[in-house]
Structure 1
């Protein structure tokens, strides 16, 4: 029996074997195998291919953003100024009027309410010319008048007024005395008519058959108006740019 412990008396070490402190276990790490050196030429080739692909994709995107999918059209709409270079009929200037006639006083070349309107709303200038074409061997005269107004709003007002029945009109070339055709004093008697606004311009066309080629009877004349004269007038609208060289 061991002696009891007393204060101040040193303690005996604990019975049992004493183990020295062990160092921590060694950690083994397996290094990654070295990567084989790359091919510089291949890397540059891949970069170039990538840049080309990006450029192609960007170009396609830009095309679809900027293109509205419409084919170009040489014909003008109501507010445009471009004219068709070819049409249904072949027009030639009348031999007595190979160049347009122009005047800055449009009112004196008009009648009815159109004359009054142009007096209250002076134009910039008027250009006129007489053309000739043939339809099935029949001679047709077409007077092309181009009234250039100060702005598009004034042109729109004139354009609407010309379409009203009984409002008068700008004189066609025969009525205005610019050209003389035997047996005719005006083209408005035939009924061929067309009008169009091109920006500040109002284009007015009137047409009629040569007296020797005119039909007899109201029904035949109406057929000529529908099948010959009105189509000729519609096609002659494209001659506005040729007639109004001053607006160029």
Structure 2
């Protein structure tokens, strides 16, 4: 047996060899200076939302301006007229007014004497009813004396407004109408006014007067004053 040891080829490490990289020792300049691309930024939603809110405000402001600024402000409605204290109804007996051309024949006192000397052109009379606040029925006679001139009407109006000078007969006094408990209305309240050639006279009374005579007359005078408007255009 041979004591010689076989010989094998040496290993690479035995030769001190290294695996050398194929990359160059230094990167090219263009690769060393090129910026690294950053990821795209996330879009913020608040500018979009703010823009939408601003647009909505502008639209709302435009609508408000159009509804309030484009038209002139409307005036406030006038206050409602107060309700009348007395509401009158025409009595059935004089649905058609009582007419006469001889006023002196339907007058008394100084008023009769005046109408004899200064004849009227037309006498128109009618009876009305109304109700007081406590439910009592009031009867009102309205007479319209049409004179030939406005001056004659003024003189007659001045005369009848003086106490104790008489007046034109109311329809109860002349028995044109009949009301139980009343024979005339001159004991109640009186009122008169002059409109051009016309003298309007109103007399009111009730069969159920107030206990206080002064209060009764004052109440009836308010009724007669309110009734003067009934004489305008009476027919």
TM superposition score category, shorter chain reference = 0.5 to 0.7
SS in 1 for 2:115: helix
Q: Where has structure 1 moved over 2 Å in runs of 4 or more? A: none
C-alpha distance in 1 between matches for 2:91 and 2:215: 25
Matched-pair contact (CA < 8 Å) for 1:128–1:145: yes
Give the corresponding residue for 1:223.
215
Give the corresponding residue for 2:186.
188
Give the corresponding residue for 2:165.
167
2:96 is the counterpart of 1:96: no
Please report the RMSD computed on the Cα atoms of aligned residues, expressed in angstroms.
Answer: 1.3
2:138 is the counterpart of 1:140: yes
2:233 is the counterpart of 1:238: no
CA offset at residue 89 of structure 1? 1.5
> Structure 1: where are the runs of 5+ without partners?
1-85
CA offset at residue 184 of structure 1? 1.1
CA offset at residue 100 of structure 1? 0.8
CA offset at residue 180 of structure 1? 0.6
CA offset at residue 99 of structure 1? 1.7
CA offset at residue 165 of structure 1? 1.6
C-alpha distance in 2 between matches for 1:87 and 1:104: 33
- Map Cα deviations across residues 112-153 of structure 1 (whole Å, 9 max, x no partner): 110010010000000000000001201111100000000100
Matched-pair contact (CA < 8 Å) for 1:111–1:168: yes
TM-score (norm 1): 0.59
2:205 is the counterpart of 1:208: yes
TM-score (norm 2): 0.62
Larger RCO, structures 1/2 (Cα 8 Å, 6+ apart) = 1
Aligned residues: 152
2:113 is the counterpart of 1:113: no
CA offset at residue 87 of structure 1? 4.3
Pairing of 1:26-105 with structure 2 (within 5 A): 87-105=84-102
C-alpha distance in 1 between matches for 2:201 and 2:184: 14
2:175 is the counterpart of 1:177: yes
SS in 2 for 1:189: coil
Structure 1 counterpart of 2:124, from 123, 127, 132: 127
Give the corresponding residue for 2:155.
157
- Map Cα deviations across residues 64-113 of structure 1 (whole Å, 9 max, x no partner): xxxxxxxxxxxxxxxxxxxxxx9431100112221210100000000011
Matched-pair contact (CA < 8 Å) for 1:93–1:99: no
Rg larger in structure: 2
C-alpha distance in 2 between matches for 1:87 and 1:124: 32
Matched-pair contact (CA < 8 Å) for 1:174–1:186: yes
> Structure 2: where are the runs of 5+ without partners?
1-82
